[in-house]
Structure 1
Amino acid sequence: MGKKQMWWVIAGLIGFNIFTLLFFLGRPLSGADDEAVATIGNESITREDWLQEIEASHGKDILSALVDEKVVEQLAGKYNIEIPKEEIDRELLMIKTIYRTYDGQTADDKQLRRQVKHQLALEELLTRDVVVKEEDLKAFYDQNSGSFNIPPSYHVSQIVVKTKEAANETIKELEQGSSFAALAMERSIDEFSANKGGDLGFVSEADGRLDRSMIEHVQNLKVATWSKPVKSAEGYSILFVHEQIPGKKYSYDEVKSEIRRQLALEQMDMPASAKPFWDEADVDWFYGDTEN
């Protein structure tokens, strides 16, 4: 699973950057092209300046990603490739809980689901003619079954302060309506999470990122609630649970298609790219060549 895990880390980061840029590039101009998006003293940066810089720096990558998406969509239709909802749901859970490339600040479920569906359809296209023996699929599952298990996981944020008094004061402010993320950035002494509004992403007892006593407090919290002050190595922590995911063990039949794609790609020894299909899809684009 390591090879695929690495792909997801890279693809998640690239995908987020591309789709974020697509969002900004796709926004309609809300006025003249010289609308200011930033001012520095008496000088300003216009929306046109901004978008031109984005296009110059990232335009080819963004357009290439859009072409790839359409190529995969069209050829998946041509070859009757459909990705079951259950497979997309499973990959989303894996990304959240095991690969941890997702948190509430970097991508929403709709965007991530779109990327997952695209990637699985691409893998099916690339490997549709590759034969993998049933015994090889079963052997891989037997040797790696633990990799297909999702531990109970929790999307957690924290605020860490030095004293119990400071923790109680923070809780009072939360009860009065203050933002958890804002308070974490303002006063948490854990710099790593404070910079992200206290967000730790998804944690589990298995990954060891929180000690057992902290995990026990998290397990007893309802979603969208915070804890009382919890003694920690740095002082006192206030924990907040955004989402809980129950543990899940996937059977061989549930992950057989995923294993087939993975072993087929390893046999082919090639990157999971849509570029080999551009000619078949008759791509003609702004940058001319299709050897992108």
Structure 2
Amino acid sequence: MSKKDLLKGLIALQAISMIILTVIVVLYRLPSISHPGPSSETNENIDTLGSEVVAMVGSEQITMRELQEQLEMQYGEQMLHTLMLHRAIRMEAETYGFSVSPQELEDELARMMEGYVDEAEFYRTMEEQLGLTKEDVGRDAEYRLLLEKIAITPIVLTDEEVRAYIDDHPDLFGPRTQIRLAWIVTETRRLAEQAVQELSEGENFAALARRYSIDEFTAGTGGDLGRIEADDPFIDENVLEAAAELEVGDIAGPVPIDSGYAVIKLNEREVIMQYDEQRKQEMARKQLALSKAKPLHEVEQDLLRKYDANVVRQP
């Protein structure tokens, strides 16, 4: 598994709660789950829709009711727990007057997108692999940010502690270098050398990436890796070391990597001042407070107990 795939796996785990919510909304909107005392006309509609055939296997039918019952049996308990938890988080946030600003949500989503070529690829992956829309991902991030605010409420920090934290973590708060790379990934050194030869003869890099590269995530876009940190932990160290020696427009390779060999091109390099002083203070205070707070899963359980969350009927 590549480092990029690992990051996508972590993002997928963060998105599981939204999958659960999506399924439960569908599940409990199915007409075969009704409120007490439906009319006879409603019963007839429920029976009709519940017996609707949704799939065929040979001559065997699978009905809407069978699908609903399987979903409820397999996911019901976990889905219900997630719904109760989100309700408790919302109630606690309202008690303290907490909310998530557009800027906070934007920053969190940007963090989640690290390791993807661009925003479009991130949301496309969420949709294709997890069935999550852009709105679903945003809602999940908002709940997580609210939970973090709740978790750090009891934590008291001095200005001196925050300043020391900033000084001890220059990689988080100091200037950083971003680069934009493109690459051609081949299985063998011979193919990588052939690509280098063709580039030296004037061949277009993007065209060669489409022709030779085995990296399915970037081959179609001419090998573009997007803007990444110069020390991005999800990019092969050999690639980053080679890129550090390049001037913009230069090419290097073959570079040995886990999946074979790479030919890289440096398209951009920019040194960025990350945050102003106020933003540094805010971020450092939050990160330091989270390191001293209860683990988030314990905060979740505390909230469920506080609001007397209990299951009235097992799904």
- Per the normalisation by structure 1, the TM-score is 0.61
Match of residue 162, structure 2, among 137, 140, 143: 137
Tell me what 2:85 maps to: 68
Tell me what 1:268 maps to: 293
Shift of 1:42: 2.2
* 1:99/1:36 CA distance change after superposition, 3 Å: same
CA contact (8 A) 1:96 1:202 kept: no
| Paired AA for residue 125 in structure 1 | I
Which of the two has greater helix per residue?
Answer: 2
Correspondence 1:1-292 to 2 at 5 A:
10=10, 12-27=11-26, 28-29=29-30, 32-97=49-114, 102-106=122-126, 107-148=132-173, 152=178, 190=214, 193=217, 204=228, 206=230, 207=232, 208=235, 249-272=274-297, 273-286=299-312
* 1:205/1:121 CA distance change after superposition, 3 Å: closer
Tell me what 1:223 maps to: none
Q: Deviations over 1:60-114 (max 9, x none)?
A: 2222222121111111111122333222211211111269994522144422222
What are structure 1's unaligned runs of at least 5 residues? 1-5, 172-183, 221-230, 238-245
* 1:111/1:52 CA distance change after superposition, 3 Å: same
* 1:282/1:25 CA distance change after superposition, 3 Å: closer
CA distance in 2, matches of 1:192, 1:82: 39
CA distance in 2, matches of 1:158, 1:43: 49
| Paired AA for residue 18 in structure 1 | S
* 1:50/1:153 CA distance change after superposition, 3 Å: farther
> SS of the residue aligned with 2:67?
helix
Q: Deviations over 1:105-137 (max 9, x none)?
A: 214442222222211211211221211121111
Rg larger in structure: 2
Tell me what 2:40 maps to: none
What are structure 2's unaligned runs of at least 5 residues? 1-5, 32-47, 127-131, 196-202, 264-270
